[in-house]
Amino acid sequence: MTSELQRLVDGLGRRLQRNVTVDDWRLRQLAFSSHEYGAVDRLREQSIFRRDVPDGAAEWTFGSGARTADGPFRPPVNPAIGATIQRLCVPIRQEGALLGFLWILEGDEPLPQEEIESVLATLDTIAVMIQRDQLAQELYRSRARELVRDLVVADDVRLREHAAEELIDADLFVPGEPVVAMVISVHGDEQALTDVERSTLEGWLERVSSRLSDRRHISLVRRDHGLLLLSDKDPLVSGEAKRHLAEEILDYLERDLTGIEAAAGIGEPLAELSSFFQSYGQARRAARVTRLVDGFGRVASFDRLGVYGLLVRIPPAELTPQALPYGIRCLLDAGAKGEQLADTLEAFLDHAGDVQTAADKLFIHRTTLYYRLQRIEEFTGAQLTNGEDRLALHLGLKIARLMGLRTHL
């Protein structure tokens, strides 16, 4: 939001004695009259406080013909999204291209035609300001993204250090704060994003992260995933707020891209910006685990992966059935009965050999559990009283989950 555009909107609000807002074509707020003139509704309050519009506002706006309107129009009030006061919407165009919208809260007293004409007379000036802002923002984002690409190159220390210095020197990111990575995965493998997927992901990363503190976030879309560089000191992403932010992005993606199952991973905070690549690698691995292992939901933090945080470092090319311990392969090859025994073994090992707790987990009697453990030893050739055998079987079961060979329990 430029100071020029803000001053123009403030002046327009004073002259009209109405509440005025300017949005870009995606309904991202650019400026709003700083003084309140009369009553405001929940939609205006929410758009100012959150710097975003609630769900349903875009459908209401565009469903009212905002994209094709060639002049001012009045969308109907819509209490469901908090639009309880009548608005006048004025599309802002430059050579036919839609740049944004100017909104005026009219209420019960429609704006006189002569005042509407005075508003129309300012549109060319507003359009020039928006275009200039968009160009500056695009240059800003392009430079920031270029440096983030350098920042995540794991094998070039000098390149990472230079990128970190440039981000700080160019005032693109706040200095001296710990950084954390969030990765948004659209596909379950390394399949490249389509143009539609890339555009949708980029749009939602920008829109959702625009509510965060200035200079404390940078978004980037890579070949097969999205990335957010975040300051862990931003109060808007502290604690569980990062998870909520990721869940919100996933909700939007799954709504707009049919047939996908998006997932997200969050790395650990790191003190140095030049070390961000480590948090990025952790976030990518966490996103991978969410897809392959039940129990993590759609969003996983690396520090909560447990043993999977170690096992996921194994290169995917190395995860073949031959990498599993012989006894685990025997169980997995034994069909439904073997799967039942594998579930029993995993519950037994997960609970440190506590027979009663494992039996309760499996909803079976202790006698049945003892019988199954005997059958497991016969199948695998392992001795469950032997610590190394137990460790090999336990790790084998977890690796089988990373390989997608086991998906329940």
Inter-residue contact 359 to 368 (CB < 8 Å): yes
pLDDT at 326 over 60: yes
Inter-residue contact 40 to 85 (CB < 8 Å): yes
Residues 6+ apart with CB under 8 A from 322: none
Dist. CA 225–CA 187, nearest whole Å:
8
Instruction: Taking residues 332-349, report their average pLDDT.
Output: 89
Q: Which of 199, 210, 5 is nearest to 92 (CA)?
A: 5
Inter-residue contact 137 to 130 (CB < 8 Å): no
Instruction: Taking residues 11-24, report their average pLDDT.
Output: 93
Winning range, highest mean pLDDT, from 36-45, 273-282, 336-345: 273-282
pLDDT at 276 over 90: yes
Query: Which of 181-197 are b and which e, b meaning 16 or more Cβ less than 10 Å from the residue's Cβ?
Result: bbbbbbbbeeeebeeeb
Q: How do residues 229-246 score in pLDDT, each as one tens digit?
A: 999 999 888 888 999 999
pLDDT at 324: 86
pLDDT at 370: 92
Question: What mean pLDDT is reported for the chain?
Answer: 89
Q: How do residues 252-267 score in pLDDT, each as one tens digit?
A: 999 889 889 899 999 9
Crossing angle of the two packed helices 335-350 and 366-380, in degrees rounded to 10: 110
Element (H, E) at 40: none
pLDDT confidence tier of residue 210, bands split at 50, 70 and 90: confident
Percent of the chain with pLDDT over 90: 52
pLDDT at 2: 59
pLDDT at 212 over 90: no
pLDDT confidence tier of residue 409, bands split at 50, 70 and 90: low
Instruction: Taking residues 340-345, report their average pLDDT.
Output: 91
AA identity, residue 19: N
pLDDT at 55 over 80: no
Who wins on pLDDT, 136 or 202? 202
Per-residue CA distances from 4 to 72, 104, 163, 215 (Å): 23, 19, 32, 21
Domains in the chain and their CATH numbers?
3-134 (3.30.450.40), 178-311 (3.30.70.270), 317-402 (1.10.10.2840)
Residues 6+ apart with CB under 8 A from 346: 394, 397, 409
Inter-residue contact 100 to 23 (CB < 8 Å): yes
pLDDT at 22 over 90: yes
Helix-then-strand count for the chain, H and E: 15, 9
Per-residue CA distances from 342 to 307, 356, 357 (Å): 18, 17, 16
pLDDT at 1: 47
pLDDT at 206: 87
pLDDT at 20 over 60: yes
Dist. CA 321–CA 328, nearest whole Å:
9
pLDDT at 225 over 90: yes
pLDDT at 159 over 90: yes
Dist. CA 359–CA 362, nearest whole Å:
5
Residues 6+ apart with CB under 8 A from 104: 16, 18, 19, 20, 87, 88, 90, 111, 119
pLDDT at 390 over 80: yes
Dist. CA 206–CA 409, nearest whole Å:
38
pLDDT confidence tier of residue 132, bands split at 50, 70 and 90: confident
pLDDT confidence tier of residue 51, bands split at 50, 70 and 90: low
- Secondary structure of residue 19 in the 3-state scheme: coil
pLDDT at 34: 81
Paired tokens of 251? 């909700």
Inter-residue contact 25 to 98 (CB < 8 Å): yes
pLDDT at 406 over 60: yes
